[in-house]
């Protein structure tokens, strides 16, 4: 089965978006596409290995002189590579969360719950959870099915006919107000 990203939510497919961005920059900057691809494939990544080393287990012969010893096939240490990648991924996630004020995960939706589809501005019912993370299959009142990321679905309050009519929204208390998650530092002036 082919895994795809949620419609209208390209950041969930970040790896493909990043690859497209890299390819576009290579094409724009280079005069010779083959040389540009050779340079990209032989340049070391954050984990210390080049894409060619990860794919073929050896370095490529480029315009930069290299010893014959370095051209011999040598597979990278898998455990160390996985460890470095996990550490790097965690570091990037922390920076992203800090920069963009990521909030905790939204609660899971259950079958039959009523939701509002943000980008379509339509009410719908949750039919099932999709196989991809944070993705749901929903159906509108007209019977049209959509697949949407959890970020596009707003849970609607359950209507209860036994409750007497009252104010639509309770006043917000001081504790419920959202505060900035930015780290505040006092300014450093004139060496004080």
Q: What is the pLDDT of residue 170?
A: 52
Task: Select the more confidently predicted residue: 190 or 89.
Answer: 89
Q: 61 pLDDT exceeds 70?
A: yes
Percent of the chain with pLDDT over 90: 18
SS3 state of residue 76: coil
- Per-residue model confidence (pLDDT) at position 30: 83
- Summarised one tens digit per residue, pLDDT across range 146-186 is 999 888 899 998 765 555 555 555 555 544 556 667 777 77
Could you give all domains of the chain from N- to C-terminal order, each with its CATH number? 10-100 (no CATH), 106-158 (2.30.30.140)
Report pLDDT digits (tens) over 69-79: 888 888 888 89
Those residues with Cβ within 8 angstroms of residue 150's Cβ, 6 or more apart along the chain or in another chain: 106, 109, 134, 135, 136
Model pLDDT for residues 120-150, shown as the tens digit of each residue: 888 999 999 988 888 899 999 999 999 998 8
**Helix 33-42 and helix 14-29, axial crossing angle in degrees, nearest 10:** 130
Residue 88 structure tokens: 């790097």
The proportion of the chain whose per-residue pLDDT surpasses 70, expressed as a percent, equals 84
| Backbone φ, ψ for residue 64 (5° rounding) | -80, 130
Mean pLDDT over the full length of the chain: 82
What pLDDT score was predicted for residue 179?
65
Q: What is the pLDDT of residue 176?
A: 54
Per the model's pLDDT, the better-predicted residue between 85 and 184 turns out to be 85
Q: How far apart are CA 190 and CA 192, in angstroms?
A: 6
Q: How far apart are CA 156 and CA 124, in angstroms?
A: 10
Q: How far apart, in Å, are the Cα atoms of 131 and each of 48, 109, 136, 148?
A: 33, 14, 8, 12
Distance of CA 26 to the CA centre of its chain: 23
Q: Which pLDDT value is given to residue 177?
A: 56
């Amino acid at each position: 089965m082919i895994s795809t990203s949620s419609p209208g939510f390209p950041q969930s497919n970040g790896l493909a978006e990043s690859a497209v961005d890299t390819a576009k920059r290579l094409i724009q900057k280079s005069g010779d596409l083959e040389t540009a691809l050779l340079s990209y494939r032989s340049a070391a990544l954050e984990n210390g290995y080049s894409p060619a080393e990860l794919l073929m287990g050896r370095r490529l012969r480029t315009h930069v002189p290299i010893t014959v010893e370095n051209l011999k096939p040598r597979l990278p240490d898998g455990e160390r590579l996985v460890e470095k990648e996990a550490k790097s991924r965690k570091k990037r996630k922390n920076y992203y969360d800090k920069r963009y004020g990521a909030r905790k995960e939204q609660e899971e939706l259950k079958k039959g719950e009523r939701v509002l589809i943000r980008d379509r501005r339509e009410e719908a019912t949750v039919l099932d959870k999709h196989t991809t993370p944070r993705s749901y299959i929903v159906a509108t009142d007209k019977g049209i099915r959509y697949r949407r990321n959890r970020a596009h679905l707003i849970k609607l309050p359950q209507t209860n006919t036994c409750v007497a009519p009252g104010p639509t929204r309770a006043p917000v208390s001081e504790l419920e107000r959202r505060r900035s998650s930015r780290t505040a530092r006092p300014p450093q002036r004139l060496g004080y």
